[in-house]
Structure 1
């Protein structure tokens, strides 16, 4: 009986069985394994009419000293403004219909930024870090002491479409002389800070990006400078000898990025008004701030192992079928 069983047993059967097992295991692993690298935000936050504002508040605007603002300003529902000493290159919309629409659009933009996926958890302190495009989340506060470098991933001196979204559960506080530095073609128009309560920028901070604060005030202390926007949903914006410039965007070129993507497909306009950007490939950053090239998001080694396992299983199955239908004289 054992001899008969042995005669019927095809030694090629383990090939198909092993291939099937490997394929199933890798498939599960590829689905469950978390990405080690922060994924790029697919699109910038859509600011809509809010994009024309450099300063927008819910409870008034106050200034001390000499402040220069490039972009519109406004406040609603509290329309109080104490802005003596402000040089405005834009329009004071006060609490008019333009401001009211911008406030509604700010609510939508804030919610969009708060819900951006997939978030990568970060520590409270951002100083000393180099980050690539993606969504970064802190359950409570975010702080900056020293320098935060945001790397757009290009090495050719051209603008990048990478988007950076920071989600702070409570506050955002920068210390004296802190700065956000842009490299690799990163642009301030593609940087967004969603802050659950208040944002405070201490003396001589050099900041980049659109700040959207929910329940708390935005306070810019003496000499702080911004390429971005200060947008307070419910509270006031307070300034003190500041420079605030609404950012503009340059569309990334239709050519290869430093991360190896084909710009003719990947590099789509990613401006502050929310035009889509489909460049979703990540560029890793080393501790010394240099960029290292990652493969496009194509599955990496896991994908190749899946393909190999599938081929392994197919080979075993084909051999079994050929053996099954082989003429009797060929089997001798």
Structure 2
């Protein structure tokens, strides 16, 4: 009789336990979160919203992208730099292998050196140095391959390709489609934190939209690596280094604190470009 009562009690406890687990599962499903083990023994929460996964990264876990000689340039392209006067560029610019005649920036717009592969560049300030430009272009392409090849993203398809209004923390981000930024965003972290944004499609920053850095984040540690064109709308403000497989386009009055490193052309329209220190 005692054995029968004991078994009944255990059965009742099992029902209560399973019911509790089911309730917890339902609650976790509503919150779309779960804890996963990390290599250092701690745990990290994974959040899912509309099949978009957001994994909290380990701060300082990313190595910066080595830009090599390309890092000496504010603007570097392979097929030229067009310009609607007057832009203000702080830092060196150059284009290779295309002729210097494809650099349409005037000497008075640049606080730095304009490098060209031949004497057809802007006069009287153009400096012919094909060797330096060849090295810089090679370093730019190596940096793109490195940044685009980083794996195990901390954030996958965040915002389903729309990150307007979000605060971005350090880590590796990956979007398998285009990325749109229709409203202001904040990039938050420390002076040593690294951010890498991999974009499989186009990257569009809407007109008048601003990127703001907080916590001491430095633009030199932010890398936007994009497979398609990058467009910054009128009077928008961009932060970080753009490593573009195709063109980088700044529309009228847009500004950037960063580098524009394009494997095709860069277009300017009365813009301000400042290479980060």
In 1, are the aligned partners of 2:62 and 2:172 still within 8 Å (CA)? no
Aligned pair partner of 1:165 in 196, 200, 209 = 196
Mapping 1:286-297, distance limit 5 Å: none
In structure 2, the partner of 1:54 is 74
1:1-332 aligned within 5 A: 30=37, 36=46, 37-40=56-59, 41-79=61-99, 80-84=102-106, 87-95=109-117, 96-119=130-153, 120-121=155-156, 122=158, 123-153=160-190, 160-214=191-245, 216-233=246-263, 235-248=264-277
8 Å contact from structure 2 (residues 185, 210) kept in 1: yes
TM-score (norm 1): 0.61
Residue number in structure 2 paired with 1:300: none
Tell whether the 8 Å contact from 1:206 to 1:226 is kept in structure 2 after alignment: yes
TM-score in terms of structure 2 length: 0.73
Distance (Å, rounded) in 2 between the aligned partners of 1:210 and 1:84: 23
Kept in 2: contact 1:62–1:237 (CA 8 A): yes
Cα distance, 1:167 vs structure 2: 0.4
SS in 1 for 2:114: coil
1:207-248, Cα deviation, whole Å (9 max, x unpaired): 10000110x211100000010011101x11000000100001
Q: 1 CA distance for matches of 2:58 and 2:198?
A: 15
Q: 1:112 to 1:35 in 2, by over 3 A?
A: farther
Question: How much does 1:142 deviate?
Answer: 1.0
- In structure 2, the CA distance between the partners of 1:199 and 1:142, relative to structure 1 (3 Å rule), is same
Larger relative contact order, structure 1 or 2 (CA cutoff 8 Å, min sep 6): 1
Distance across 2 between alignment mates of 1:246 and 1:240: 17
How many corresponding residue pairs? 212
RMSD of aligned Cα (Å): 1.8
Partner Cα distance (1:113, 1:237) in 2: 20
Aligned counterparts of 2:84 and 2:103: Cα–Cα separation in 1: 12
Distance apart, 1:87 and its partner CA: 1.4
What is the DSSP-based 3-state SS (H/G/I as helix, E as strand, rest coil) of the residue aligned with 1:93? strand
Cα shift readout 1:118-155 (whole Å, capped 9, x = no counterpart): 312122112100011101110011111111101115xx
C-alpha spacing 1:224/1:85, structure 2 compared with 1 (3 Å):
farther
The CA distance in 2 between the partners of 1:140 and 1:93, in whole Å, is 35
Kindly indicate which of the two structures has a greater share of residues assigned to strand: 2
- Deviation string for 1:88-117 (max 9, x for gaps)? 111111132111111000111001111223
